[in-house]
Amino acid sequence: MFDTQLRSLIERPLNVVAFRLARAGLSADCLTLSGALVALGAAAAILGDHLPLALALIAASRIFDGLDGAVARVNGPTAWGGYLDSLADYVFYISIPVAFGLAHPENLVPALLLVASFTITAVSFLAFAAIAALQPATISGKESKAFIYSIGLMEGSETIGFFVLFCLFPEYFGTLAFTFAVLCLLTVVQRIWLASKKFS
């Protein structure tokens, strides 16, 4: 929901850094893989109840995620890069709630439900992108990205926000996870409605 507004705020500094990284020879794929590894590091920190460290690693992972796209725009995006970026994103999305679920038994059911809601949300997003790619540009609104993005109530910014809340208020993980799962399902309903309008 806030991705577009947030992107407009951080795009300029990201592009400055990305240009320098690209000139130094650092590839977008390297940044993507680094972000995924840092996300797994955050999950490991959660398992060890090192939540301040986990919070710092979550932030670092998302910085890598922002920079990989910016570097890709400098060097020229590739289909492989788009595929790798999506895979790395879901390593991040899944590993954090799974870590909270494994760290404390009372968190396991909320974490499982949240991951299930992520799965349905991912299907609604990827199916929309795949079908929209086959439509005329005037219908699909094609952009210069690997995927055609369908906006939704819960997007990347909101996910990061909830993950930060998980780390700051771990005792409320269950309530936060249930709330997030419901909002994800509302996002699925929103995308179903959008797909019915665009593809009917």
- pLDDT > 70: percent of the chain: 86
Instruction: List Cα–Cα distances, 142 to 108, 134, 149, 162, in angstroms.
Output: 39, 10, 9, 29
pLDDT at 13: 81
Band the pLDDT of 150: cuts 50, 70, 90: low
pLDDT at 140: 45
Comparing 130 with 161, the larger pLDDT belongs to 161
pTM of the full structure = 0.84
Class of the CATH domain delimited by 3-199: mainly alpha
Query: What are the residue boundaries of the structural domains of the chain, listed by start?
Result: 3-199
pLDDT at 25: 86
Tell me the pLDDT tens digit for each residue of 37-54: 999 999 999 999 999 999
